[in-house]
Structure 1
Amino acid sequence: MIRDSGFPTFMPVMNALQRLVAIQPDFGALPTIEIIEILQSWKESEFFDKLSQNLWLVSFPDPQLIPIDLHTRLPAHRICLCIPETACANKENQSRLKHFSSNGFRIVADNFVSSLELAWGDTKYFAMDAKAGLPFYAKSWTAKLSSGQHWAKNIPDTVVLEQALQSGFKILSGDYAFNPPVSNRSADSSARTRLLKLLGLVSRDADSSELEELFKQDPSLSFMLFKLVSSAAFAQTVRVSSFGQAITLLGRRQLQRWLQLLLYTRPEQNAGALNPLMTRAAFRASMMEGLCQKRGGNKDEQDAAFMVGMFSLLDKLFGSNLADVLQPLTLKDDILDALLQRTGQLGVLLHLVELSDRTNSAEVESALHRAEIDVGVFEECLVQAYGWVNQVCRDA
C-alpha cells in the first residue's frame, strides 16, 4: 500500500544491554484516525511480522478516539497503547482502557508524574520523560510495580541513562547514544587506530600480507576474526589455519563491513552491554544501503552508501573532528562530501537517514522530496534497517 501523506519516524527503544526491544513510531500531530490507518497499512505490508522480536509503542492522546474494535484491526499482542497518565485518570476512559487490555493490548501510563499514589489504580506499565532527569520517586514506583517493563524516554545523555538504569527502568530511548562519556570516546584508542588502518588497507585493496601484519598486532582482533570465519554462518568444512586463509574465506567485502561495525563494538564492555552508538550506526548503514538500492544503485554504490551511514558517527565515537578521523582512510570524494558536507546524492540520503530515527518534524517531508523517496519506500527501508539492527544485536 503506497501513501502520499503521513511521515512518521521510527525511534529505537532499547533494553539495559542496549539491544533493540521496541520501536516508537512518532506521528507528530496526525489525527488518531490517520494513525490507525497507517498502522493498518503496516499490518497489510507485514511490517509487524518482519520485526517479530519488537514491540511497538504507539502514543494516543485520547482513548475515546481509539476504535473500540482495534483488536480486530491490529495485532494487539505487539502493540503498547501509550496513553497520557492524565487521560488514564478519567473514569470514563478507564473502562475503555480495561477493554483494550482485556483484548491483548498493553496499556502504558505515559508522561507519568504521580509521586504518592497512582492516578489509575490498574497501572501496570508507565513511561517517564527523562529529558530533564528523573524525579527522586521514580525508583519507588519501579519497585512497587516490579512486574512491569517501565520506560524512560527522551534520555539526553549517558549520565541520565545511568540514572534510569539505577532507578529500575527496563526500556530506554533518547539521544544518549549521540552524547557518549569522554572516557568511552578515548578508550582503547590504539585498537581503534589499528581498525582504521585495516579499513584503509581494505579500501585500497592492499595485499593480504599487509592485513595479516596488523591482525597479528592485536590478539583480541585476531580471535574475533577466526571466530567469525569459523561460525556456522559461513558453514566452512575446512579448518582455518592461517590469517591469510581466514581473510580469503571471509572475503574483502564482508571483511570491510565487519571492520566498520567492529569500530563501534570494541569500546564499551559493560556487563555485556553494547555501545549505544553501534546500533545507531548499524541502523544508518543499513538504511543508507536500502535507500540506495531502491533508487537503482548498483552493488558498489550500495557499499558506498552503507559506508557513509556507518562512518557518519565516528566523530561521536572518537570525540574528534570527523575530517581528522577519516583522514587515514583515503576515501573517495563523493563519500567525503557526503560525510563532511552532506552534499551529493549520498549526502542527500544521509540527511534523510539522520532524521528518520529521531522525533518527527516537517524536515522529514522536505528531505523525502529532496531525495525523491516515496513514503512507502522510506518505511520499507526503515523496517529493513531495524531488522538488521536486530541481527547485529543478536550476533554481537
Structure 2
Amino acid sequence: MSERHIARDFTRHIEVLDTFADDGDPTGAPQFVYLGRQPILDRDGAVNAYELLFRSGAHNYAEIGDDAQASAQVVARAIGGIGVPAVLGQHRGFVNIDRTLLFSEFVHLMPPERFVLEILETVSFDVQLVRRLGELRRAGFQIALDDVSELSDELIGRLPCADIVKVDFLQARRGALAELAATVREHGKMLLAEKIETREDFALARELGFELFQGYFFARPQVLAAPRNRSLRPGLLRLLALLSRDAGIVELEPELKLNPGVVVQLLRLVNSGAFGLGRNIASLREAIIAAGTRQIARWAQLLLYADSGDLPWRADPLVQLAGTRSRFMELAAGWLRPSDDEFADAAFMTGIFSLVHVVLGSTPDAVLEKLGLAPHICEAIVSRRGELGVLLQLAEVAGEGGDAASLAAAPDAPAGFAALTPDVLSGLNLSAAAWFGAHIEEAVA
C-alpha cells in the first residue's frame, strides 16, 4: 500500500467526534470530560493501537502540570468515564505511566491485554523499578520505553525490561538511526517510530525495520468527549459501607440498583476486558460476580475521591486530608502485616469513614449508625480502640506533623507497632501524599 493510500485509508478507521465547548453552568463546573487519542499504525497502514492522551478541554492540546495526575485521569476516563470499547474498539491503548502509578494499586484496574504501559523518559530505573516491571510483565502487561532518541548504555540496560521501544524521529539523528534500530531488534524488541511527520521519515522507518508508526503524517490526535456524571458520593459511601462488612450479592445488588451512575461505572469496568470474560455483561448480578468485591471496593474508592464537589478535589482540604489519611493507614497496615490484605483494606476504609461525618454535615455516631459499617471499623473511629483505632491516631498525629513514632512505641500500643519508626512513618507519609497527587483531582468524571 502506498503512503498516500495509507494516510487516506487510515482516516476511515477513526471515529471522528465533534469537539465542543462546555455548556454554560452557573457553578462553573465542566459538563464534559475529554480524552485525546492518536492512532498507531502497522506496516500495512492498519490501526494497531491508540495512544491515549490527557486533554482538559475540547481544545486539542495538553495542559499538564503533573504527569502522574494526568495519567491517572486518562486511565480512569478511558475505563469508567467513556468506556474501553468506545475509546479503543478492539485495539490496545498506550498510556504514559510514571513511577508513582507503576507502584500503585491503580495500575491493576487496567486490563493488561488492552493497555500498554509507556514508561516516561523521566522515570529513573533502579532495582525496585526493574522488579516491578518484571511483575507487571508477568501479569500480562507490555512495557514500552518512550521518547528514545539515541543508543546508549542506559538504553541497553533498560531493554530487558521492555517489549516495545518508541524512537522519537524529531530528536534522533538520522545517521545514528540504523545502529539504534539494529541494536533494538537484536534484543528482540519491537520498534515503534513516533513523531513521523514526513513521507521521507516514514519511508526511512520502514526501511530500518520499524513495525509500528505514529505521527502527524498519518493523523493528529482526536478529542473524545463524554458527559460528566453527576455526584456519586452518597451511593458510593453506602456501597463502601456494605463492602467493609463483607456484604454479599443479596445486599450489594439492591444498593447498586439505587445508584445507576455507579452501576454504569461498574459495567464499564467489567466490560473493559479486565476479567477476561470474552463477552459483555448486561446483568448487574453477573457484573458483581465477575468483578468481585475487592475490585468493586477499589473502584468505588477511586470514584469517591474523583467525584466532583464544590471545589476541585485537589483544592478541597477535607479531601486532601481524607485521601492522604486513608492511604497512610493502608500503607502502615501493610507494613505491619505484609500478607494481610483484609487488614490493609479495613485500615483504608477506616481512614475514609473517619471524616465522612464532616462531608455529610453530621456526627460520627449518627453517620456510622446509618451506614452499618463493620463493628471494628466503627469502634476505631468512635473510640479509637483496637489496632485500627491506634492506626487512626497515628494518622491523625502524623498528619499534623506530630510525634507519631512515640505513640507507636508506647507501652500500651498493640504488638508490633514499634516497628513504625520515625523513618518508616516519614516514608509512609511521603508515599501517601504521592498517591493522593496521582489519583485525586478529577481522576474520573
What's the TM-score, normalizing by structure 2? 0.41
What's the TM-score, normalizing by structure 1? 0.46
The structure number with the bigger radius of gyration is 2
